[in-house]
Structure 1
Amino acid sequence: MLALANYSMKGPMQANIAVVLLSALSVWIAPIGILAGGIVALVTLRVNAVEGAKTLIWAMIVQIALTVMLSGSYMPAVIAIMEYLLPVFIMAVVLRETNSLAQALHLGMLMIGVGLVGFHLIVGDTSAWWLELFNSQIKPLLDTAGVDYQSDFVPKMAQMVTMLLSVFALILWFSILMLGRWWQSQLYYPGQFQTDFHQLMLPKSTATIAVVIAITGLIVGQEIRLLYDISGVVIAALMFQGLSVAHYMVKEREASNAWLVGLYVLLFLLPQMMLILATIGLLDSWMNFRGRGETQ
């Protein structure tokens, strides 16, 4: 992957070629879009926002053109652009201007928050909307394929879909942004990415608002779905701060990286780990486990 990033930074033409090929491949293999978004972030961070925007436009043109040619619809391309490209570019611009991963993460939270408010205003009952979508689009396919599923679980899942997608979006956007930052560090500023990530700390004001929203959302989530959905986004953001604390502690104590491997395995296997890490991140905003005098 680093060789790909190195090739992309040899000039605007190379960056455009790389992002066009990756964007085209992502139409068939969606996860490759992560690399395309990483290239857009890298160009934005290393060169400037204008060149990053040009690279983004090339990626979007290819994504839309191929998707329309293959499926006759542009909506899958719009989803892919919002999933891998456009939000990452916007966050990369903020990261370039502020040199703060925390500010970029904060912006990601705000974008998703605005999106959630708009979605709730347009749809109304989001659970009913997802349930209707399942019954009209997915259920016939499952029935035709003879797939066995628990029908009583579907309404419960419908209540969580909006929150889960929002959490997924924030984690994906910020992870792609960090990929671009890591590439930049490896190619031009060795060791800088580690320093940046160790300094990730959301402002106390943000943490205070976050904990109020999270607690309220978890308590009255069934009655106020919007707060429930936003609480998931807040927990995901604080999780990154918790991970930052974990990485910093391992380095400071010169502990084995096996501790971090185990942490990520547990995070993958146990969803509760996200809440534990978010709690650590929240406490860090006030207790400053890393001993720094100011937030980033």
Structure 2
Amino acid sequence: MRKLATFIMAGRLQAVSIAVLLAILGVFVPPFTLLSGAVIALVALRKGAMPALVVIGWGTLLLSALTLGLFGQFAIGVIYAFAQWLPILGAALLLRRTVSWSVVMQAIALVGMFGVVLTQLLYPNAAQLWQGVLQTSLAGTLERIGMNANEASTAISDVAQYFTGIFAVSIALGVAISLTLGRAWQAMLYNPGGFREEFTQWRIGQPFALAMLVLVLAAVVLRNTLLVQLMLVGLVPFLLQALGLVHGLVKQSGMNIGWLIAMYALLVFATVQVAALLAAVALADCFVDIRSRLAKRP
């Protein structure tokens, strides 16, 4: 990763070429999309807004030309830039200015929640639109794993009710992860060891945590689809905070790295349950400061 980060920072052409290459690879292997966003984050964090905008501009032109040749769609490159690179640029510039992960993560969550509300206002029947999309893309897969047509249709209908929120969660997580990778690359090149300190120490402020507790309780009690979707997006920063918390506790207590491997493995195989548990731990940490309490113990 150090060599890749060094190559990206060697010049504008290198940054553009790597960002576009990773974006194209992301069409076939989605995690590469996160690395493409990390390129934009690294340039913005280190050099500021204008150099990053230049990279995004040339990258959009090149990506659009490539998608025109590969898929016959010039607009894909423009849509990608607006949906992926520009949000990451905004988050990176905010982090560059505030040097506060808490502020940035809250901003990412609030923008995502605003997007959910705006979609609900502009497209009251968004669930029906999502149902059509999911029916086309998932029905065959669900039937192949053992569901009959009625069961698959019911499952898709249930998911479609919340899919605007799920989509917003995926965007928010993508922005947050790309920004985290870009910050890690920046520290690797210019401030070795600095990223670990940042990542393991930041906490969401108590006012936002308290507001989220109220939202979670309201969503659970009322079971309103909009409140549930807002809750899902609002919990994204707490998931990231919990990951940093666990990393910090493992280092602080001298525990084996196997605990981290186990945590990420569980996130892959039991994503919803483990993510909910981690978010709950992070919410508690906002009020009781788990790190400090454990540090005081002999």
Tell me, yes or no, whether TM beats 0.5. yes
Cα distance in 1, alignment partners of residues 173 and 39 from structure 2: 18
What's the counterpart of residue 169 of structure 1? Answer: 171
Aligned to 1:185: 187
* 1:158 alignment counterpart: 160
How many residue pairs get aligned? The number is 287
Residue 275 of structure 1: CA displacement?
1.1
| Other-structure match for 2:296 | none
Report what 1:133 is aligned to: 133
Partner residue in 1 for 2:201 = 199
Matched residue, 1:285: 286
User: What is aligned with 2:229?
Assistant: 229
Aligned to 1:67: 67
CA contact (8 A) 1:123 1:129 kept: no
User: Which runs of 5 or more residues in structure 1 are unaligned?
Assistant: none
SS at match of 2:291: coil
| Paired amino acid for 1:188 | Y
Match of 2:277 in 1: 276
Measured after TM superposition, the shift of residue 29 of structure 1 is 4.9
Does 2:235 correspond to 1:219? no
Distance apart, 1:256 and its partner CA: 0.9
Task: State the 1:76 CA deviation.
Answer: 3.8
CA RMSD of aligned residues (A): 2.5
Alpha carbons of structure 1 residues 211 and 78: separation in structure 2 relative to 1, 3 Å: farther
- 3-state SS, counterpart of residue 214 of structure 2: helix
- Range 48-57 or range 249-258, more displaced: 48-57
- Percent identity, please: 28
Aligned 1:58-137 pairs, distance under 5 A: 58-74=58-74, 76-135=76-135, 137=136
CA deviations on 1:89-130 (whole Å, 9 max, x unpaired) are 110001111112222211211221121111111110332232
AA partner of residue 77 (structure 2): A
Measure the CA separation in 1 of the matches of 2:292 and 2:169.
29
Report the equivalent of 1:54. Answer: 54
Within a 5 Å distance, the mapping from 1:11-22 to structure 2 comes to: 11-22=11-22
- Please report how far the alpha carbon of residue 49 of structure 1 lies from its aligned counterpart in structure 2 after TM superposition: 1.7
Distance 1:252 1:102 in 2: 21
Give the counterpart letter for 1:198 in structure 2: T
Distance in 1, Cα, partners of 2:267 & 2:248: 17
Q: Which runs of 5+ in 2 are unaligned?
A: 294-298
Q: Distance in 2 between matches of 1:71 and 1:17?
A: 19
8 A Cα contact 1:23 1:36, kept in partner: yes
Answer yes or no: is the 8 Å Cα contact 2:20–2:62 preserved in 1.
Answer: yes
Q: Return closer, same or farther for 1:128/1:65 CA change in 2, 3 Å cut-off.
A: same
- Structure 1 stretch displaced more, 51-60 or 254-263: 51-60
Aligned equivalents of 1:37, 1:30: Cα separation in 2: 12
Distance 1:138 1:84 in 2: 22
Matches within 5 A, 1:22-41: 22-26=22-26, 29-41=29-41
Provide the residue aligned with 1:258 in structure 2.
Answer: 258
